[in-house]
Chain A
Amino acid sequence: MDRMLQIEGLTKQFGSFTAVDNISFSVNRGEVLGFLGPNGAGKTTAMRMVTGFLTPTSGTAYVGGHDVTTAPLEVKRRIGYLPEGAPLYEDMTPSELLAFISDVRGLSGAVKREAISTAASRINIEHVMHQAIGTLSKGYKRRVGIAQAILHDPEILILDEPTDGLDPNQKHEVRKLINEMAKDKVIVISTHLLDEVDTVCSRAIVIARGKIVADGTPADLESRSELHNAVTLRLAAAQSEKAKGAIEAVAGVDRVVEAASEGDFANFTAYPKNGQVVVDQVSAALKTAEIDVLEIQAERGRLDEVFRRITTGA
């Protein structure tokens, strides 16, 4: 039963608008899936169907073998979910809220106390446990939302924009937590922060206009960038013309683009043909031409560029 989350032909129509259009994929234990897409692409709608908040127009999701459309309670028991915007009962304190969630999830006595204190300490909210949630900052609210999602140590954790509204330190904490929990769970996070995909996700699915347009590891996605294996260089401006000629002469190089020069320095990017590795050849060519290179770097590719290209169809 390693294939813990399985989504089959999930579709949601609102009137004539198709928000999620026949998406299928499965996620195995240990995977952290980044669910990417521009705003309005259908990420939240898809998550709402998987968690049983919305009923799919067609298709379904299986969690641990249970069908969310026919056994929603079994599915909900296994999922920890942070809804978009982390809605919480603002008149309660985190301590009361977590107690309520424990009651509903059937935790009681010592197990309940243990679950609440573990969740609170993992997400670092112990010192605000007795303040009304409505008075907390956005970052704390988000963390209380995450605390209620991880309270029952679920097999599947679905977090809709978990780091939205957090400062860089808090983002780092949450990402660290996700990495710690990743081993024995399925974690699905939606985000439009691409550096988040690099740091926490073992796999990324990009959706646009309700359809899956890419599915692979972050490295796979990066390799689809035209910058993949490109070489960026920095050298003295005086040598720039000579250098440009030398690089263009290398067999694997498709074209050389000069970026805005900064004073005495020139910056180049050499794009390879068909994404082949050219960094050795380029550096050898420059050495033969006796050009001093200040910096040379092979690019992995940029997720933002790939993201923009595949989600806009450009």
Chain B
Amino acid sequence: MGTSWAISKRELRAYFTTPLAYVFIVIFLALNGVTAFYFGGLFDRGQADMQPLFGFLPWLYLFLIPAVAMRLWAEERKAGTLELLMTLPVSTFNAVFGKFLAAWIFSGIALALTFPVWVTVNYLGDPDNGVIIASYLGGFLMAGSYLAIGGFVSSMTRNQVIAFVIGAAVIFLFMMSGLELVQSAFRGWAPELVVDLVRSFSFLVHYDAVIRGVIDIRDMIFFVSIIGVFLFATMVVVDLKKGA
């Protein structure tokens, strides 16, 4: 575990010594503001809550998180530093987990920096802070699952643009699987069980439950499982690539 943390520290430092962290955080906060206040009407709707912000979060994450995840492995492959890293006494698990953890902490920092909105709604009204905390937790878990998927795609290529595009596309599929668009495509021919299964993989379905304040352990388990499955898949790819 010590080596995982050493890798996470290095990655986090890399975010903040390059412009990446600052660009990401500024754009993330700006877009959050635009979507929550302009499209979501955070003030105009006269309710003291953060629904507008969290409602748009999955869509912001759809293209911002793959931008963080795309470099996780592709950059190291391209620069050749993967050889340096993987010939250090680091297990594949520690390398995969350490990198993921750094990206997750980083996206958590960006999410936490939306706190002025929380302060504002508390100042102006009397929001249900339990729901807001649940929403933050949900948003953080969703960022983690997006990152796990994006990191998995990144481990398969040395090209960051490909990692970004494919990563975003896979995440989009996971998001949409609960919507009518996708559901109706299955409903015509597939048994109910399959339709429900596809629906159960939807990020939006699980996330919407969480941000409405319904903290169901199954929704948490869903996100954690997605993270676990894709981190495992990343380990498999990193190991398999050693043979090629």
A residues in contact with B243, CB < 8 Å: 54-55, 57
Q: Are A52 and B87 interface neighbours, CB within 8 A?
A: yes
B residues in contact with A148, CB < 8 Å: 84
Answer whether residue A203 sits at the interface, using C-beta atoms and an 8 A cutoff: no
Q: Are A48 and B83 interface neighbours, CB within 8 A?
A: yes
Given contacts A53-B242, A92-B13, contact A104 B89 (CB under 8 A): yes
The complex places the Cα of A88 from the Cα of B83 at a distance, in Å, of 10
Given contacts A53-B242, A55-B242, A90-B79, contact A73 B13 (CB under 8 A): no
Q: In the complex, which residue of chain B has the Cβ closest to the Cβ of A73?
A: B89
Given contacts A54-B243, A89-B10, A104-B6, contact A83 B89 (CB under 8 A): no
Q: How large is the interface on B (under 10, 10 to 19, 20 to 34, 35 or more residues)?
A: 20 to 34
Q: Are B84 and A52 interface neighbours, CB within 8 A?
A: no
Answer whether residue A167 sits at the interface, using C-beta atoms and an 8 A cutoff: no
Size of A's binding interface in residues, CB under 8 A: 29
Given contacts A54-B243, A92-B14, contact A87 B86 (CB under 8 A): no
B108 to chain A, nearest CB (A): 22
The complex places the Cα of A83 from the Cα of B86 at a distance, in Å, of 11
The complex places the Cα of A89 from the Cα of B14 at a distance, in Å, of 9
Q: In the complex, which residue of chain A has the Cβ closest to the Cβ of B242?
A: A55
B residues in contact with A14, CB < 8 Å: 244
Secondary structure at chain A's binding surface: helix, strand, loop or mixed?
loop
Answer whether residue A106 sits at the interface, using C-beta atoms and an 8 A cutoff: yes
B112 to chain A, nearest CB (A): 24
A63 to chain B, nearest CB (A): 12
B34 to chain A, nearest CB (A): 31
Given contacts A77-B89, A105-B88, contact A89 B242 (CB under 8 A): no
Q: Are B87 and A83 interface neighbours, CB within 8 A?
A: yes
Answer whether residue A81 sits at the interface, using C-beta atoms and an 8 A cutoff: yes
B→A interface (CB under 8 Å): 2-3, 6-7, 9-10, 13-14, 17-18, 79-81, 83-84, 86-91, 242-244
14 contacts between A and B (CB under 8 A): A55-B242, A76-B88, A76-B89, A87-B81, A87-B83, A89-B79, A89-B81, A89-B84, A92-B10, A100-B9, A103-B2, A104-B88, A106-B89, A148-B84
A-B pairs with lowest CB-CB distance, top 8: A87-B80, A103-B6, A76-B89, A83-B83, A51-B87, A55-B243, A77-B89, A55-B242
